Chain A
Amino acid sequence: MDDLLADFVAETREMLEASEGEIIAWEADPADRARLDTIFRFVHTVKGNCGFFDFPRLAGLSHAAEDALADCRAGRRVPDAALVTAVLAIIDRIALMVDAIEADEAFPEGGDEELIAALEEGADAGPVLEPLPVPQPGSDVAPAKKAEAVVAQRSIRLPVDLLDRVMSGVSDMVLARNDLAHRLRQAGTQPTIDGPFERLTTILADVRDAITRMRMQRIETLFGALPRLVRDLSAELGKQVMVDLEGGDVELDREMIEMIRDPITHIIRNAIDHGIESPSNRLAKGKREIGILSIAARQSGNTISIVISDDGAGLDEEKIAAKAVSTGLITAAERAKMDREKILNLVFEPGFSTAEQVSNVSGRGVGLDVVRDNLERVGGSIKVTSTTGVGSLFTLQIPLTLSIIAGLTVEVGEQRFAIPQSYVEEIIHSSAKALDHTRVGETALVTFRGNRVPCLTLSEVLDLPAGDIAEGNHTMVLLRLASGDLFALAVDSIHSHGDLVVKPLAPAVMKSGVYAGSTLLDDGQPVLLLDVTNIASQHNLVSDARTRVLQTGEEEKAKTAKAHARAMLFTDFDGRRSAVRLELVKRIETAPASVIDLSAAEPRAVIDGVILPLIGLPDDQVPSEKVRVLRLTDGACELLLAVREIDDATELDDKLKPVPDDPLVEAVTLVGGKTVTLIDGHELFARHGEAPEVAAKPVCRLPDSEWARTILGPLVTSVGYDVAHGQDAEIEEDIAILFDDDYEAAAAIDITFDKPVIRLRDLPDEAGASETIYRYDRDALVDALRKARSAGGKR
Chain B
Amino acid sequence: MNDLLVMAQIAGRRCAFKALDVKSVIEVGVITPVPRTAGFIAGITAMRSQALTVIDCRRAIGFDPASWALDERAIVVAVAGHSYALMVDSIEDITSGVSEPDGVPGGFGPEWSRVATGMIETRTGPALLLDLAALIGGPETLGEAA
Do A and B assemble together?
yes
Interface residue from B36, B45, B51, B55 paired with A514 (Cβ < 8 Å): B36
A520 to B46, CA, bound (A): 8
A172 to B37, CA, bound (A): 28
Q: Which of B1-9, B14-22, B27-35 contacts A (4 or more CB under 8 A)?
A: B27-35
Q: What per-residue 1/0 map shows which CB atoms of B108-132 lie under 8 Å from chain A? A: 0000000000000000000000000
A514 neighbours in B (Cβ, 8 Å): 35-36
Task: Evaluate contact between A172 and B49: CB separation under 8 angstroms.
Answer: yes
Q: What per-residue 1/0 map shows which CB atoms of A509-533 lie under 8 Å from chain B? A: 1011011001110001111100000
Task: Evaluate contact between B34 and A520: CB separation under 8 angstroms.
Answer: no
B51 neighbours in A (Cβ, 8 Å): 503, 505, 518-520, 526
A479 CB → nearest B CB, Å: 18
A461 to B35, CA, bound (A): 9
A508 to B82, CA, bound (A): 10
B49 CB → nearest A CB, Å: 4
Q: Which residue of A lies closest to B33 (CB)?
A: A415
Interface residue from B32, B36, B49 paired with A415 (Cβ < 8 Å): B32
A663 to B82, CA, bound (A): 77
Interface residue from A461, A462, A518 paired with B44 (Cβ < 8 Å): A518
A174 to B48, CA, bound (A): 10
Task: Evaluate contact between B36 and A526: CB separation under 8 angstroms.
Answer: no
A518 to B137, CA, bound (A): 20
A512 to B50, CA, bound (A): 21
Task: Evaluate contact between A511 and B37: CB separation under 8 angstroms.
Answer: yes
Q: Which residue of A lies closest to B138 (CB)?
A: A508
A738 to B136, CA, bound (A): 106
Q: Which residue of A lies closest to B38 (CB)?
A: A508
Q: Is B96 an interface residue (CB 8 A)?
A: no
Interface residue from A508, A511, A515, A526 paired with B46 (Cβ < 8 Å): A526
Task: Evaluate contact between A506 and B49: CB separation under 8 angstroms.
Answer: no
Q: Is B90 an interface residue (CB 8 A)?
A: no
B30 neighbours in A (Cβ, 8 Å): 525
B60 CB → nearest A CB, Å: 9
A260 CB → nearest B CB, Å: 24
Instruction: Find the residue from A415, A461, A518 having the highest chain B CB count within 10 A.
Output: A518
Q: What per-residue 1/0 map shows which CB atoms of A166-180 lie under 8 Å from chain B? A: 001001101100000
Task: Evaluate contact between B48 and A175: CB separation under 8 angstroms.
Answer: yes
A509 to B39, CA, bound (A): 11
A683 CB → nearest B CB, Å: 63
Instruction: Find the residue from A168, A175, A520 having the highest chain B CB count within 10 A.
Output: A520
Task: Evaluate contact between A509 and B46: CB separation under 8 angstroms.
Answer: no
B33 neighbours in A (Cβ, 8 Å): 415
B121 CB → nearest A CB, Å: 32
Say whether, besides A503-B51, A505-B53, A507-B82, A512 and B37 are in contact (CB < 8 Å).
yes
A503 neighbours in B (Cβ, 8 Å): 50-51
Q: Which residue of A lies closest to B36 (CB)?
A: A512
Task: Evaluate contact between A528 and B34: CB separation under 8 angstroms.
Answer: yes
A168 CB → nearest B CB, Å: 5
Interface residue from B37, B46, B50 paired with A525 (Cβ < 8 Å): B46
Interface residue from B34, B41, B46, B137 paired with A524 (Cβ < 8 Å): B46
Instruction: Find the residue from B33, B34, B84 having the highest chain A CB count within 10 A.
Output: B34
A474 to B55, CA, bound (A): 33
Q: Is A504 an interface residue (CB 8 A)?
A: yes
A171 to B32, CA, bound (A): 20
Task: Evaluate contact between A168 and B49: CB separation under 8 angstroms.
Answer: yes
B38 neighbours in A (Cβ, 8 Å): 508, 511
A415 to B44, CA, bound (A): 12
Instruction: Find the residue from A174, A175, A508 having the highest chain B CB count within 10 A.
Output: A508
B49 neighbours in A (Cβ, 8 Å): 168, 171-172, 174-175, 520
Task: Evaluate contact between A504 and B37: CB separation under 8 angstroms.
Answer: no
A534 to B35, CA, bound (A): 15
Task: Evaluate contact between B46 and A506: CB separation under 8 angstroms.
Answer: no
B37 neighbours in A (Cβ, 8 Å): 508-509, 511-512
A463 to B33, CA, bound (A): 12
Task: Evaluate contact between A528 and B137: CB separation under 8 angstroms.
Answer: no
Say whether, besides A463-B36, A505-B53, A526 and B45 are in contact (CB < 8 Å).
yes
Instruction: Find the residue from B38, B51, B55 having the highest chain A CB count within 10 A.
Output: B51
A511 to B35, CA, bound (A): 12
A514 to B82, CA, bound (A): 18
Interface residue from A463, A509, A524 paired with B53 (Cβ < 8 Å): A509
A168 to B83, CA, bound (A): 14
B53 neighbours in A (Cβ, 8 Å): 505-506, 508-509
B45 neighbours in A (Cβ, 8 Å): 526
Instruction: Find the residue from A506, A509, A511 having the highest chain B CB count within 10 A.
Output: A506
A422 to B53, CA, bound (A): 27
A512 to B35, CA, bound (A): 9
A198 CB → nearest B CB, Å: 22
**Known A520-B49, A525-B30, A526-B44; further 5 A-B contacts with Cβ < 8 A:** A462-B35, A505-B82, A508-B41, A509-B53, A528-B44
- B residues at A contact (CB < 8 Å): 30, 32-38, 41, 44-46, 48-51, 53, 55, 80-82, 84, 136-138
> Can you list 23 A-B pairs with a CB-CB distance of less than 8 A?
A168-B50, A171-B49, A415-B33, A462-B35, A463-B35, A463-B36, A464-B35, A504-B82, A505-B51, A505-B53, A506-B82, A508-B55, A508-B138, A509-B41, A512-B37, A514-B36, A519-B51, A524-B46, A525-B32, A526-B44, A526-B45, A528-B34, A528-B44
- A residues at B contact (CB < 8 Å): 168, 171-172, 174-175, 415, 461-464, 503-509, 511-512, 514-515, 518-520, 524-528
Nearest 5 CB-CB pairs, A to B?
A171-B49, A462-B35, A506-B53, A518-B51, A506-B82
